A and B are shown apart, each in its own frame.
Chain A
Amino acid sequence: MAESVLTALTERFGDAILETGTYVGDEIAIVAREQLVAVLTFLRDDPDMAFAMLTDLTVVDYLEQTPRFEVVYQLYSLSKKHRVRLKVHVDEAPEQCWVPTATGLWHAANWAEREAWDLYGVRFEGHPDMRRILMYDEFVGHPLRKDYPQNARQPLLRRPDATPTDDQTTRLLEDSHDRRTSG
């Protein structure tokens, strides 16, 4: 099966596949965001692809690079026994920091996209329930972003007489773009 998935993708989608490659046997394609849902739909529904399973969906933060974020999809075909990894570049600017949701294709995307939003602040347009999943609702910011301060804490509760810790930072990111965009 080597290369066949990538070949099929480039033949069918052409310019929407920005880059392809392999790394230690894994096939990787970088996809334009505009064609992402079409590519994912093709990979799931085409009988030669048959990627019935979204293994994982996560985000990488390349701080100080442009574009800053990369959303990564790991797909696996239970019937064909092959895998592919898709990547989408996402810009840092709040109005650009989004990708279309994959919840319409795989239910597994639901919580994975909520986790990605919670920890990295990448929105998934069209997601039915775009809420935080790990952090509490009062939390401000996205803690796995590389520019989130390492020792910042946002305690939900403290005894009034608790021993203060030197790294207690409450409401640290009050003006982060998250507040403006999460509505």
Chain B
Amino acid sequence: MPDHPGYVPTKLQDAINWAQKYSLFTYPFATACCAMEFMATMAGKYDIARFGAEFPRFSPRQADLLLIVGTVTERQGPILRRIYDQMADPKWVIAFGVCASTGGFYQNYTVMPGADQVVPVDVYIPGCPPRPEQVLDGLMTLQRRIQDHRGHSQRELGNTAAFTPHDRRRLPIVPDGTSMTLDEDERMPKDGRVL
């Protein structure tokens, strides 16, 4: 065993993160047409079960991944926040589609300009609606972040000892829980090669 006090907890947190990223229980906050693509992603052809996230829980208390699927109106803001608050830590949030990410093409008195106005968001999936491949890509991005201990609630828990010293992808800790942009190695490569 190396002479390093952080070694055991670090490796333990790695194992916990590994377990968590392949055991995501989703709460689908499905408000609009993106739900159809969500259903396609769940169903056999695209089969989100391959990534360990197949089981939707319709109770926020039993879920750890909040999928905001579709347009969020201002009137729904307090409802969405309440659902988020009921979820136990650690928890993650994905904004599914442009409406949940930015309000999309709705720019009016009733639509919230992005779900991140009321809850922190880990991963934004663009598209109107996004194809299932995009959803799976977003899910895998989230799983990388969970492994790296970079989910917003993981950071809020402040378990800094869990950061692996060699984690070159780690960004500075943002204490307010806001989302960070993708790292260079998380972006789709422009030359078409597969990561």
Point out residues on A near B: beta carbons under 8 Å.
134-136, 143, 148, 150-159, 161-163, 165, 167
Contact across chains for B110 and A157 when beta carbons are under 8 A apart: no
Cα distance, A181 to B188, chains bound together (Å): 56
Cα distance, A134 to B108, chains bound together (Å): 14
Contact across chains for B113 and A152 when beta carbons are under 8 A apart: no
B166 at the interface (CB under 8 A from A): no
Dominant SS among interface residues on chain A? loop
Point out residues on B near A: beta carbons under 8 Å.
74-75, 77-78, 81, 107-110, 112-114, 116-120, 176-178
Cα distance, A154 to B112, chains bound together (Å): 10
Cα distance, A157 to B81, chains bound together (Å): 9
| A-side contacts of B108, CB under 8 Å | 143, 150
Cα distance, A147 to B93, chains bound together (Å): 38
Cα distance, A152 to B177, chains bound together (Å): 27
Chain B residue nearest to A143 in the complex (CB): B109
Cα distance, A157 to B83, chains bound together (Å): 14
Cα distance, A30 to B177, chains bound together (Å): 58
| B-side contacts of A143, CB under 8 Å | 108-110
Cα distance, A110 to B114, chains bound together (Å): 33
| B-side contacts of A134, CB under 8 Å | 110
Contact across chains for B75 and A153 when beta carbons are under 8 A apart: no
Cα distance, A156 to B72, chains bound together (Å): 12
State which of A152, A153, A159 has its C-beta within 8 Å of the C-beta of B118: A159
State which of A136, A162, A167 has its C-beta within 8 Å of the C-beta of B117: A162
Known contacts A162-B118, A163-B116; A156 and B77 CB within 8 A of each other = yes
| A-side contacts of B117, CB under 8 Å | 155, 157-159, 162-163, 165
| A-side contacts of B177, CB under 8 Å | 161
Contact across chains for B109 and A152 when beta carbons are under 8 A apart: yes
Contact across chains for B118 and A158 when beta carbons are under 8 A apart: yes
A153 to chain B, nearest CB (A): 7
Contact across chains for A165 and B118 when beta carbons are under 8 A apart: no
B168 to chain A, nearest CB (A): 28
B173 to chain A, nearest CB (A): 15
Chain B residue nearest to A162 in the complex (CB): B117
| B-side contacts of A135, CB under 8 Å | 75, 110
